[in-house]
Structure 1
Amino acid sequence: MGDARRYHSLSSPFRMKRGGELHGARVAFETWGTLAPARDNAILILTGLSPSAHAAANAEDPTRGWWDDMIGPGRAFDTDRFFVICVNSLGSDKGSTCPASIDPATGEPYRLTFPELSLEDVANAAHEAVTGLGIDRLACLVGCSMGGMSALAYMLLHPGSVRTHISVDTAPQAQPFAIAIRSLQREAIRLDPNWRHGQYKGDEWPEHGMSIARKLGVITYRSAMEWNGRFARIRLDPDERDENAPFGFEFQVESYLEGHARRFNRQFDPNSYLYLSRASDWFDVAEYGEGDVMRGLARIHVDRALVIGVSTDILFPLEQQETIAKGLEAAGAGVDFVALDSPQGHDAFLVDIENYSRAIGGFLRKI
């Protein structure tokens, strides 16, 4: 099926969009399927903020991946036909160089001396990994959530390197609501006394801040429809409550969020979270179009594109995906726009596998 986590060494120095550079940096990636002799069957997947490159099980790592039911023989990303690559974002602590990595100049972790990170840097690092595999042109570039913005940057910065594109639950620029939520998430981490201006270590970990950040994220990743359907106003059983805790958890939805936060804590480096979160806020296709999003999108040239959005997504609203679809179409691409009514909100692409498989598999069978 392919290789488990592998690494691509980035050019050194690797220069960053907002100034600064990295030396001896790398990105982690995994692959599935076989690269054709002509090297023309590669699909690159760029992830959301927190996932690793382990999108699906493979021979070296049989554990389930975050998009396991989408990748494999006969699945939407058919590995009998395509060579699928997933690259972990530069700045993520899932194997790529990030704020928790050792700075070769000091022998200490970068922490907040890590250069300011943009999604353009994420895109350039992924492009280096792809060209390092000997691939000049991708059959398809796929971007989910934050990765969808990174994918737009990839196509803007490397024209001609992508034949077709699949845009999943993303946006051409961060809107005020998304920026506001991410700002609160970062504030929760920064105000945790254990954050210590990024100098946390060992047992001194900003767990409360990360917990609140994760809860805010989970709330916005799902829809009000789903919260109502799953939890209504159901209260916890008396033995599940801490009667001695002032204002303690009383409703099932509170307990659910706490469980999510606990599973996330210690699983993601807080400084990496801060850097990637802010990079998402900064990204704006309008920078490439003299302040106009549509003019920026007009600079992206692919043969075909599939743009998928969800009507219940409050973080990346459907109208933002409509903008991407219109922009790519105006630039000459044949565009399929799919608006799903999945109740799961922004997280639908991880949950509503049936509908996403139908749309993505159908699109890829035509390219």
Structure 2
Amino acid sequence: MTEFIPPGTRYVDLPSPFPMKRGGALHGARLAYETWGTLDAARGNAILILPGLSPDAHAAANAADPAPGWWEAMLGPGKPIDTDRWFVVCVNPLGSCKGSTGPASIDPATGREYRLGFPDLSIEDGADAAHHVVRALGIERLACVIGNSMGGMGALAYLLRHPGARAHLNISGAALALPFSIAIRSLQREAIRLDPNWNGGDYDDDSYPESGMRMARKLGVITYRSALEWDGRFGRVRLDSDRRDDEDPFGLEFEVESYLEGHARRFVRNFDPNSYLFMSRSMDWFDLAEFCGTPRGDQGGDVLSALARIRVDKALAIGVATDILVPLQQQEQIAEGLRAGGADAAFLPLESPQGHDAFLVDFDRFGPAVRGFLDQL
């Protein structure tokens, strides 16, 4: 599988061996990252961004790579995350195929790709790896840890395992995976594994599980947005006759189907299927209550206890009312737990119609919220 790595990406070598939470260790592993802004003399203006499953480290244009990044509207001079003030570090998650060590990387013990030989991956492993990047950059105390989606999980794990940050901004994140999101991700993984070309994880560019990845991505995109947006954006508009395949009686017929197909095809050859499987499962496994040594209680009390162990001065948990994948009550829970630990923590529900992915597109709502929080630090 060919990796796509932006030209501005840099790397930190992780300790070797790098122990994994669920057993095993990585040797010769690395984490990819990019930076923006200037670290001040006191090294006190650093912000760490932990992204979701699919983004790389290139969150925005920088001197090394002027191409727009996945959070271009939010990060840069004068933008909500103002790089005239902040020194910003964004990492590519451990397990990914965008520069950090993952299943598509070479296992030094065999000289071949790890594939399914990659150690069981947890959110906590990614948090530990990100901490090594922070320390390698000479940063002793972060001004803020920002986590989006999967990165919101990683940020909570980071703050528990590596305390000391002044503030936390959690965007559409969660302290544990709920049954609905587990069910969706389980179907996504099943779609990949049932593709004959997946071949037990042993595939290449010529024999790639494209159908499975297409289905997995379509399932994901459906949950990343909301029914309200699907209706307003596409309605029941049908494709023009020249865009339909009349020889396929069950082929694409509606505009929404065409959108999903196009989105999936742009994704599939740019992401490693095994990486998708490992990272997806790491989210399902995540439960902050494990930090307390006991499983979550029926009412989530242990999660609140774990959140209360996080020590930050200030925090904001932002969610979206139309998010079905990581619903609002999960961000409300984060704010409640952090307050119990002594943080000045707020919960901000936004009325965006764009669902879970709103933080990637609804900058009119997210921009002021993020700017306002960081301006208070």
Q: Which residue of 1 aligns with 2:316?
A: 306
What is the alpha-carbon distance in structure 2 between the residues aligned to residue 71 and residue 263 of structure 1?
A: 24
Figure out how many residues of one structure are paired with residues of the other and give that number.
364
Q: For residue 254 of structure 1, report the CA deviation from its aligned partner.
A: 0.4
* 2:250 maps to amino acid: F
What is the alpha-carbon distance in structure 2 between the residues aligned to residue 21 and residue 288 of structure 1?
A: 20
Q: For residue 189 of structure 1, report the CA deviation from its aligned partner.
A: 0.2
**1:176 matched to 2:179:** yes
What is the alpha-carbon distance in structure 2 between the residues aligned to residue 229 and residue 85 of structure 1?
A: 36
Task: Decide which of 48, 51, 57 is 2:61's aligned counterpart.
Answer: 57
Q: Which residue of 1 aligns with 2:203?
A: 200
3-state SS in 1 of match to 2:166: strand
Which sections of structure 2, spanning at least 5 residues, go unmatched? 1-6, 297-301
Task: Decide which of 341, 344, 367 is 1:357's aligned counterpart.
Answer: 367
Q: Which residue of 2 aligns with 1:344?
A: 354
* 1:266 maps to amino acid: R
What is the alpha-carbon distance in structure 1 between the residues aligned to residue 339 and residue 267 of structure 2?
A: 39
Residue identity over aligned pairs, in percent, reads 67
What is the alpha-carbon distance in structure 2 between the residues aligned to residue 348 and residue 196 of structure 1?
A: 35
**1:156 matched to 2:165:** no
What is the alpha-carbon distance in structure 1 between the residues aligned to residue 205 and residue 232 of structure 2?
A: 40
* 2:24 maps to amino acid: G
**1:185 matched to 2:195:** no
Task: Decide which of 199, 208, 230 is 2:233's aligned counterpart.
Answer: 230
Q: Confirm or deny: 8 A CA contact 1:46 1:86 kept in the other structure.
A: yes
Q: For residue 238 of structure 1, report the CA deviation from its aligned partner.
A: 1.2
Q: Which residue of 2 aligns with 1:147?
A: 151
Q: Which residue of 2 aligns with 1:319?
A: 329
Q: Which residue of 2 aligns with 1:95?
A: 99
What is the alpha-carbon distance in structure 1 between the residues aligned to residue 353 and residue 54 of structure 2?
A: 22
What is the alpha-carbon distance in structure 2 between the residues aligned to residue 63 and residue 23 of structure 1?
A: 32
**1:273 matched to 2:276:** yes
3-state SS in 1 of match to 2:245: coil
What is the alpha-carbon distance in structure 2 between the residues aligned to residue 37 and residue 240 of structure 1?
A: 59
Q: Which residue of 2 aligns with 1:80?
A: 84
- The normalised TM-score by structure 1 is 0.98
Q: Confirm or deny: 8 A CA contact 1:288 1:295 kept in the other structure.
A: no
What is the alpha-carbon distance in structure 1 between the residues aligned to residue 276 and residue 76 of structure 2?
A: 30
Which sections of structure 1, spanning at least 5 residues, go unmatched? none
Q: Which residue of 2 aligns with 1:259?
A: 262
Query: What is the RMSD of the two structures over their aligned residues, measured on CA atoms?
Result: 0.8
Q: Which residue of 1 aligns with 2:128?
A: 124
Q: Confirm or deny: 8 A CA contact 1:192 1:208 kept in the other structure.
A: yes
**1:211 matched to 2:251:** no
What is the alpha-carbon distance in structure 2 between the residues aligned to residue 48 and residue 285 of structure 1?
A: 17
What is the alpha-carbon distance in structure 2 between the residues aligned to residue 338 and residue 202 of structure 1?
A: 44
